[in-house]
Amino acid sequence: MLRFGIGRFAYLVLAVWSINGLTACNRGAQGTGSSGDRIKIGVIAPLTGETAWGGQPSKWAAQMAADEINAAGGVNGKKIEMIFADGRCTPQASASAAEQLITQDKVQFLMGEWCSSATIAAVEAAKKYEIPFLVQISTADNIGKNGGKYTFQSAMQNVDTVKWMASMMLKNLHFNSIAIMAENNDFGNSFLSNMDQAMTGVGKKVVLKLTPDRASTNYLGELTRLKDANPDVIAFTMTQAAAANFIRTAKEKGITAQLIGHYPPPPVLFERAVGNAAIGLTRVTFFAESEKNTPKQKEWVRKFKAYYKEKANQDVPVLHWYVVSYDGIYLITDAIKRGGTDKAQWAAAMEKSDFDGVLGRYQFDANRQAKPAGLPMVAIKDVPGEGDIPKLEVLDWK
């Protein structure tokens, strides 16, 4: 079972936004050193808005990596300076954040965002200025391929996450028909297309495909159609708030299909938001804190929890978004060690990366996108817990 050890969900989400007087575009702890003795890395994350529950811890995970690197002497004799900007998980804000970091803060490297549409907008801004960009979280297909020669995607693409999810469904669930529901954006449409192809390719009947707006709060229309279609399985990808509304309403309306979700609803936090209505839900994720973690992962979880408690005065469940943000700073600086800060030489070094991170082993293909073989996914299921909060069980899906 997963270990929880956190305060109330609402307290975590609301309190973290104002910790230590941070602003939406705050500057990292390293100050404003000259470009001659420092390497400036800009990070775009949702520091405010509905995704700030994760953007703030992700920011601190990146800062923790920089602190460790600086404490060990920096990179090729230079210290890392972190500069953070608020992308709010929206294309406009993320593009503006990238422009600011490049033109005003003079960063040499960029990392971010979260939501794929926001990341694509930020990548386009960086592409205009030919600034190296690492996409450590967004999974929409071909961000690395389409982002130009200095953009790398260390997150597993949707096409690969859905292949894994579909493979595990076929091996571990018994079903003939399936409905697919995904938010109507770059991320969701990629999921829907890939899942549709995976299921029809093996003869499963896709009885319904739904694309609600991300901002939707009422799923009665979709649920009426789902009940009429009567699929054996409903596969979906939605953000936390949307998924919580959908799951609660589905239970109220007597939907009996097996619900299996893609990774966006965050483990532990989602359970505290939706309560026992989540019992029976299965979903996939990249990382879940459990006894099944590797020794390296267990040690990192311990360190990050202590670091975050010191910096934010909060307890936090450890989620994959934080792990990959930490790994991302090490990926960028590992390539700097081998290739220097010249963007062409850095990109050449990045292409040859073979980096053993906390999440897994990072390597890139010819399109500058992560090879999926070295990166894990796990399946988790909500089971009865204590009171109105379910527990999470890590399944032995292979």
* CATH number, residue 208: 3.40.50.2300
Strand spans (E) along 136-218? 151-153, 177-182, 205-210
Shared domain for 272 and 318, answered yes or no, is no
On whether the CB atoms of residues 292 and 393 are closer than 8 A, the answer is no
**Residue 152 within any structural domain of the chain:** yes
**Residue 240 within any structural domain of the chain:** yes
Average pLDDT over residues 202-230: 91
Position 52, amino acid:
A
Shared domain for 50 and 147, answered yes or no, is yes
Shared domain for 192 and 264, answered yes or no, is yes
Shared domain for 276 and 303, answered yes or no, is no
**Residue 122 within any structural domain of the chain:** yes
**Residue 54 within any structural domain of the chain:** yes
On whether the CB atoms of residues 359 and 376 are closer than 8 A, the answer is yes
Nearest to 59 by CA among 289, 252, 238, 321: 321
The pLDDT, as a whole number, for residue 213 is: 86
Shared domain for 183 and 302, answered yes or no, is no
pLDDT bracket for residue 297 (50, 70, 90): very high
Shared domain for 344 and 263, answered yes or no, is no
pLDDT bracket for residue 240 (50, 70, 90): confident
Shared domain for 251 and 171, answered yes or no, is yes
Shared domain for 212 and 320, answered yes or no, is no
Among 79-83, 206-210, 272-276, the minimum mean pLDDT is found in 272-276
Average pLDDT over residues 122-132: 96
**Residue 372 within any structural domain of the chain:** no
At 52 the three-state DSSP class reads: helix
What is the torsional sign of CA 304, 305, 307, 312?
A: positive
Instruction: Inform me whether the pLDDT recorded for 128 exceeds 60.
Output: yes
CA separation for the pair 50, 215 (Å, rounded):
11
Instruction: Inform me whether the pLDDT recorded for 295 exceeds 60.
Output: yes
Instruction: Inform me whether the pLDDT recorded for 66 exceeds 60.
Output: yes
Shared domain for 175 and 302, answered yes or no, is no
pLDDT bracket for residue 345 (50, 70, 90): very high
Instruction: Inform me whether the pLDDT recorded for 344 exceeds 50.
Output: yes
Shared domain for 313 and 183, answered yes or no, is no
The pLDDT, as a whole number, for residue 35 is: 54
Instruction: Inform me whether the pLDDT recorded for 176 exceeds 80.
Output: yes
- Count of Cβ atoms closer than 10 Å to residue 201 Cβ: 9
Position 389, amino acid:
I
Domain span at residue 316 reads 9-156+293-367
Position 121, amino acid:
A
The pLDDT, as a whole number, for residue 80 is: 98
List, in order, residues 6 or more apart from 135 with CB less than 8 Å away. Answer: 111, 112, 119, 123, 143, 144, 147, 151, 152, 153, 154, 155
CA separation for the pair 68, 74 (Å, rounded):
8
| Dihedral angle of Cα 286, 291, 295, 299, to the nearest 10 degrees | 80
CA separation for the pair 62, 69 (Å, rounded):
11
Distances in Å between the alpha carbon of 150 and those of 46, 221, 331, 338? 23, 44, 14, 16
**Residue 2 within any structural domain of the chain:** no
Count of domains for the chain:
2
Shared domain for 278 and 300, answered yes or no, is no
Mean model confidence pLDDT for the chain: 90
CA separation for the pair 356, 277 (Å, rounded):
38
Q: What is the pLDDT of residues 68-95, one digit of tens each?
A: 999 999 999 999 999 999 999 999 999 9
Residue with tokens 């299909």: 257
Q: What is the model's pTM?
A: 0.87
Distances in Å between the alpha carbon of 341 and those of 9, 150, 169, 337? 41, 12, 44, 9
Shared domain for 267 and 318, answered yes or no, is no
**Residue 373 within any structural domain of the chain:** no
**Residue 206 within any structural domain of the chain:** yes
